């Protein structure tokens, strides 16, 4: 029987590279590309089938920053599939990134220079907006939209006889100090991307505590510093041109600079081959690339406590409940 893999954000960057690499690993897969832009998704589908004609590739339209879109996509998926073996929760945004030049240059001449270059900790801020659902855009796109997708697809994911695996695209930029249980959407802060990625780490731990006995496992992974449309927005193109020689040099001292989407997917492909019950739920798995371009996988213990993870999970459940009540009221009034 074909394994079925659902991938959000599959039409570009790491998501697209992942599709290609997974089909190289198993050309009998059924890939379902969950994308916002259907014209791009169909173009990717055509290209994948041309290079891997024995595979099955389908598409579904979903915008994880829109709950109506998530509900509609979930409904379609439940009609078309009986189960998912893997769900890669990869779609994400970093809107309007602003680089703190002063903090960057101060950091370059400190003992934390390589760490700052690898994680952008303390030097990268973003401004965002409120979505049509009344939620912070980064929180809804990176965390809550995916959470609702999982909740809606529980019947396709929970099979104790054969486990399913959730694989989240997290980040080395997930910093504990940027997250607060009192402000889970990070509406009062300036680093929503970092906060959302730490929230993903918390959620993954909580999902394992609540769903492992039902056959659903969750892991978090970081593709490293990959040059995609998301990262190119941080600085003007000419600045990237100037600093690229430095970045290539830093690869000999820091393994986080994977740079290409292909390299970044190393950990995502590695997780595809692991038995989910053998993975450590308190560890983040990381793509790494040596200065000579060799890829490998490493890991790092997540800086969190399980009680906070459980509290965050219940906060999400409460938010979901409130939203469903609001939706029902709106339907009754119409």
Whole-angstrom distance, CA of residue 215 vs CA of residue 43: 34
Helix (H), strand (E) at residue 169: strand 164-169
Q: Are 41 and 61 in contact (CB under 8 A)?
A: yes
Q: Give, in order, the Cα–Cα distances in Å from 128 to each of 13, 36, 101, 189.
A: 22, 19, 20, 10
Region of residue 129 (phi > 0: left; psi between -120 and 50: alpha; otherwise: beta): beta
The contacts of residue 72 (CB under 8 Å, 6+ apart) are 61, 62
Cα 45 to chain center, whole Å?
21
Select which of 86, 88, 193, 313 is catalytic. 193
Q: Give strand pairing partners of 285.
A: 221, 299
Tell me the three state secondary structure of residue 29. Answer: coil
Q: Are 189 and 198 in contact (CB under 8 A)?
A: no
Q: What one-character DSSP code corresponds to residue 220?
A: E
13-29 burial string, b = 16+ CB within 10 Å, else e?
bbbbbbbbbbbeeeeeb
To the query of whether residue 296 is one of the catalytic residues in this protein, the response is no
**Helix axis angle, 192-211 relative to 306-333, nearest 10°?**
100
Q: Give, in order, the Cα–Cα distances in Å from 229 to each of 93, 126, 192, 244, 296.
A: 10, 15, 18, 16, 24
Q: Are 222 and 286 in contact (CB under 8 A)?
A: yes
Q: What are the catalytic residues?
A: 193
């Amino acid at each position: 029987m074909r394994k079925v893999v659902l991938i959000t954000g599959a039409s570009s960057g790491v998501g697209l590279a992942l599709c290609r690499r997974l089909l190289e690993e198993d050309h009998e897969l059924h890939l379902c590309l969950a994308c916002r832009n259907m014209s791009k998704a169909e173009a990717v589908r055509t290209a994948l089938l041309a290079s891997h004609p024995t595979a099955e590739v389908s598409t579904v339209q979903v915008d994880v920053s829109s709950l109506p879109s998530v509900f509609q996509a979930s409904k379609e998926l439940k009609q078309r599939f009986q189960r998912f073996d893997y769900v890669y929760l990869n779609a994400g945004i970093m809107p309007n990134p602003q680089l703190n030049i002063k903090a960057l240059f101060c950091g370059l001449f400190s003992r934390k220079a390589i760490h700052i270059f690898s994680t952008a900790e303390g030097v990268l801020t973003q401004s965002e907006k409120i979505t049509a659902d009344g939620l912070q855009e980064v929180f809804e796109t990176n965390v809550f939209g995916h959470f609702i997708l999982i909740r809606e697809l529980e019947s396709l994911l929970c099979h104790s006889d054969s486990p399913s695996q959730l694989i989240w695209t997290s980040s080395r930029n997930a910093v504990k100090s940027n997250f607060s249980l009192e402000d889970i959407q990070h509406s009062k802060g300036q680093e929503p991307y970092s906060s959302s990625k730490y929230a993903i780490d918390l959620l993954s731990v909580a999902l394992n505590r609540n769903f492992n006995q039902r056959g659903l496992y969750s892991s978090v992974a970081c593709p490293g510093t990959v040059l995609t449309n998301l990262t190119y927005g941080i600085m003007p193109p000419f600045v990237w041109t100037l600093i690229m020689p430095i970045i290539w040099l830093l690869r000999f001292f820091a393994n986080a600079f994977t740079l290409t989407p292909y390299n970044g997917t190393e950990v995502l492909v590695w997780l595809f081959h692991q038995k989910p019950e053998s993975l450590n739920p308190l560890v983040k798995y990381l793509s790494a690339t040596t200065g000579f371009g060799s890829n490998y996988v490493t890991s790092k213990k997540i800086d969190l406590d399980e009680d906070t993870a459980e509290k965050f999970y219940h906060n999400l459940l409460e938010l979901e409940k409130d939203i469903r009540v609001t939706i029902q009221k709106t339907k009754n009034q119409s």
